[in-house]
Amino acid sequence: MELGDYKTPKINPKKPIVALTFDDGPSEYTTKILNTLQQYEGRVSFFVLGNRVEANKSKINRAVHMGCEIICHSWDHPDLTKISGSKIKKQLINTITAIAKITNGASLMFRPPYGYINKKVEKIANKLGLALILWSIDPRDWESRNADEVYNYIMKYVKDGDIVLCHDVHETTAEAMSRLIPDLTEQGYQLVTVSELLVHKYGEIIPGLTYYK
Ligand code: ZN
């Protein structure tokens, strides 16, 4: 795998950008998020589990068609710092392969489950050419399961260049997005993918490097 296949971001440098990201899906609620997004011509990044990819092909295809990004979040969500190197590789490679089969290409990034990283995980990511993506805003949507709280938290803390961590496996998160996406757009935010944001900010995305936190 080689780096250099990221899309040139279509970003207006005079306006703020934010990358909304959704982990652990796709799920039945992914569609609701895509529906909202489509109305506002925004893009987001989905960090999917490999074992959910095959059953959710059509959602993934739709997301990609809308300019969204599909990124590896592992095969079945283990704590990568607690498993062997060969198991880590398997988690990543199998998921990337499953995604690539549908999207005709693979993103050279991944987000470790729980954000847990150690030297071994970093080394393997580097070897596979993958950058590690964390976040800068965490509304803990999985904990509150409350659309108002998720919406209020993000609106309160969001700033230019943020990566926001959410999960598209909760109905309440999809509900929060149906208000958040229009309101961020209204405030001038450009909703971009993680790779667009990082390329815009840093000019490149470096394998083995961790972005944010
Ligand atoms: Zn997760």
User: Rounded to the nearest whole angstrom, what is the distance from the C-alpha of residue 15 to the centroid of ligand 1?
Assistant: 30
Residue-level pLDDT at 107: 86
Residue-level pLDDT at 106: 84
User: Rounded to the nearest whole angstrom, what is the distance from the C-alpha of residue 110 to the centroid of ligand 1?
Assistant: 11
Please indicate whether residue 167 is annotated as part of the active site: yes
Q: Which of 23, 141, 162, 168 is catalytic?
A: 23
User: Rounded to the nearest whole angstrom, what is the distance from the C-alpha of residue 135 to the centroid of ligand 1?
Assistant: 12
User: Rounded to the nearest whole angstrom, what is the distance from the C-alpha of residue 133 to the centroid of ligand 1?
Assistant: 12
Concatenated DSSP letters for 37-66?
HHHHT---EEEE-HHHHGGGHHHHHHHHHT
Residue 139 in contact with residue 175, Cβ under 8 Å?
Answer: no
Would you give the DSSP letter of residue 7? P
208 phi, psi to nearest 5 deg: 85, -10
Give tens-digit pLDDT for 73-131. Answer: 999 999 999 999 999 999 999 999 999 999 988 889 999 999 999 999 999 999 999 99
Dig out the tokens for 146 from the structure: 């409350």
Q: Which of 24, 162, 167, 170 is catalytic?
A: 167
Q: In one letter, which amino acid is 184?
A: L
- CATH code linked to domain 3-211: 3.20.20.370
Separation between Cα atoms, residue 129 and residue 108, nearest integer Å: 6
Q: Report residues near ion ligand 1: CB below 5 Å.
A: 23-24, 113
Say if residue 26 is exposed, middle or buried (CB neighbours under 10 Å; 0-12, 13-18, 19+): buried
Say if residue 122 is exposed, middle or buried (CB neighbours under 10 Å; 0-12, 13-18, 19+): middle
- pTM summary value: 0.95
Say if residue 210 is exposed, middle or buried (CB neighbours under 10 Å; 0-12, 13-18, 19+): middle
Give tens-digit pLDDT for 146-166. Answer: 999 999 999 999 999 999 999
Please indicate whether residue 23 is annotated as part of the active site: yes
Separation between Cα atoms, residue 165 and residue 93, nearest integer Å: 23
Residue 176 in contact with residue 151, Cβ under 8 Å?
Answer: yes
| pLDDT greater than 70 at residue 6 | no
User: Rounded to the nearest whole angstrom, what is the distance from the C-alpha of residue 77 to the centroid of ligand 1?
Assistant: 6
User: Rounded to the nearest whole angstrom, what is the distance from the C-alpha of residue 197 to the centroid of ligand 1?
Assistant: 21
3-state SS class at 131: strand
Residue-level pLDDT at 3: 41
User: Rounded to the nearest whole angstrom, what is the distance from the C-alpha of residue 11 to the centroid of ligand 1?
Assistant: 28
